[in-house]
């Protein structure tokens, strides 16, 4: 069964991080994603092939030398028949390549032109370099992460690059495709990671406006400040995660732990949180992680073991739901979310840059002689 985006064709200009993640999400859902990569300057080594990651799955790959005359026109021939385009360069780069929005939309008025950047297409920082940590820093998010007695803790680049960036662009592309279906007109999407990260933090900005969130780290309900919402070390050095926020879950947590200390009776007495956290820290260090799992698993105490990437693959819940899959022997997350009638499907990784060049260009209507000429001039 084809995925929900079957029949949608997307051109992706090869990049790093959030752009490929966006392309993976769309490809997982059935879109035909054609990635335009740089033409290799030499035969690809095994190391070059190893640089391909899970987020490159499901594409067809075409390799062009964009510095050669005729490369931009070749890309435009592909863009003419595409529904959307993904690019993740600094502002102005696509324009210099001759593939800016005005040119592309003139050739394909229905095109959704998705632009993925850290700072956006305009603003004082638009042309400066940056990475995930920088984008989430000015969004207020990084400053809320970590412990109060040390600098903010950089999270994995899920918050900025993947969540505020790639996922936001995928959402934007699908929204614009729906609108174009009605209007017949394409448009440009300015997806800035700094913007998207701020959007992800909407709930916290709302809590701050109501004075329900402190700017002090480890002083709030969801940042490790509350003793009943956080991670604790076990006797074997592994960790568990507790999230017993609701009163009934909190009572069950205390009951299962055998806690009769009256100090725990006032769950929301914030001044007592540091003392209660220390008591729980000492308690949870008395047993191994597997012992706590045996006690809590299957209950409503809002408990989970903290697993590493290898352990997560083996967790019974993930195995029952097939949360992970293997493609060419590589374990990786399966497509999400799930659809009852048109499920997504994870495709294979392209083996090399340009693996599908001739296939894609023949589909685009080029003749064998044209391909030979493009190869002779070094465009492909």
Residue 315 domain-assigned? no
Residues 6 or more apart whose CB falls under 8 angstroms from that of 189 comprise 112, 113, 114, 115, 169, 172, 173, 176
H, E, C per residue of 327-364? ECCEEEECCCCCCCCCCCCCCCCCCCCCCCHHHHHHHC
Structural domain includes residue 211: no
Query: Is 131 tagged catalytic?
Result: yes
- Does a structural domain hold residue 332? yes
H/E run at residue 137 = helix 132-138
Q: Are residues 125 and 274 in the same domain?
A: no
Domain residue limits at 195? 9-201+324-376
- State the pLDDT at residue 48: 57
Distance in angstroms (rounded) separating the CA atoms of residues 307 and 160: 22
pLDDT digits (tens, 9 = 90+) for 125-182: 999 999 999 999 999 999 999 999 999 999 999 999 999 999 999 999 999 999 999 9
CATH code of 271's domain: 3.30.1540.10
* pLDDT at position 44: 59
Q: 248-283 pLDDT, tens per residue?
A: 999 999 999 999 999 999 999 999 999 999 999 999
pLDDT in tens, 198-247: 999 999 999 999 999 999 999 999 999 999 999 999 999 999 999 999 99
Is the same domain home to 274 and 179?
no
Rounded Cα distance, 66 and 14, in Å? 12
Query: CATH number, domain at 362?
Result: 3.40.50.10540
Active-site position among 131, 239, 315, 318: 131
Report d(CA 145, CA 154) in Å as an integer: 7
28, 56, 83, 161: the active-site residue = 161
Within-domain flag for 254:
yes
Domain count, the chain: 2
Is residue 83 a part of any domain in this protein? yes
Q: What percent of the chain has pLDDT over 70?
A: 97
221, part of any domain: no
Answer whether residue 183 is part of any domain. Answer: yes
Across the strands, what pairs with 314? none
Do 237 and 157 belong to one domain?
A: no
Does 246 share its domain with 191?
no
């Amino acid at each position: 069964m084809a995925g929900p985006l079957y029949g949608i064709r997307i051109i992706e200009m090869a990049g790093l991080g959030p752009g490929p993640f966006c392309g993976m999400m769309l490809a997982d859902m059935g879109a035909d994603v054609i990635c335009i990569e740089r033409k290799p300057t030499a035969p690809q080594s095994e190391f070059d092939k190893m640089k391909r990651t899970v987020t490159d799955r499901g594409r067809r790959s075409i390799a062009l030398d964009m510095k050669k005359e005729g490369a931009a026109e070749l890309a435009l021939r592909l863009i003419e028949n595409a529904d959307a385009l993904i690019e993740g360069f600094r502002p102005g780069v696509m324009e210099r390549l001759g593939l800016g929005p005005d040119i592309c939309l003139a050739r394909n008025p229905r095109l959704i032109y998705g632009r993925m950047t850290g700072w956006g297409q305009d603003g004082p920082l638009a042309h400066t370099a940056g990475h995930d940590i920088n984008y989430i820093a000015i969004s207020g998010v990084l400053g809320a992460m970590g412990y109060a007695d040390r600098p903010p803790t950089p999270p994995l680049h899920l918050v900025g690059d993947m969540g505020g960036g790639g996922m936001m662009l995928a959402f934007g592309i699908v929204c614009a495709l729906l609108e174009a279906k009605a209007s017949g007109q394409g448009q440009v999407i300015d997806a800035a990671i700094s913007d998207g990260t701020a959007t992800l933090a909407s709930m916290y900005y709302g809590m701050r406006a109501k004075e329900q969130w402190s700017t002090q780290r480890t002083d709030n309900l969801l940042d490790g400040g509350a003793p009943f919402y956080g991670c604790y070390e076990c006797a074997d050095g592994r960790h568990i995660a507790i999230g017993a926020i609701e009163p009934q879950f909190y009572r069950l947590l205390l009951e299962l732990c055998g806690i009769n200390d009256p100090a725990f009776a006032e769950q929301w007495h914030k001044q007592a949180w540091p003392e209660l956290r220390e008591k729980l820290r000492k308690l949870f260090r008395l047993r191994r992680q597997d012992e706590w799992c045996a006690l809590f698993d299957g209950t409503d105490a809002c408990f989970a073991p903290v697993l590493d990437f290898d352990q997560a693959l083996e967790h019974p819940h993930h195995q029952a739901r097939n949360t992970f899959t293997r493609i060419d022997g590589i374990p990786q997350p399966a497509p999400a979310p799930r659809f009852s009638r048109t499920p997504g499907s994870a495709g294979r990784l392209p083996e090399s840059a340009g693996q599908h060049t001739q296939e894609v260009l023949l589909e685009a209507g080029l003749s064998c002689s044209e391909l030979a000429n493009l190869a002779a001039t070094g465009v492909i």
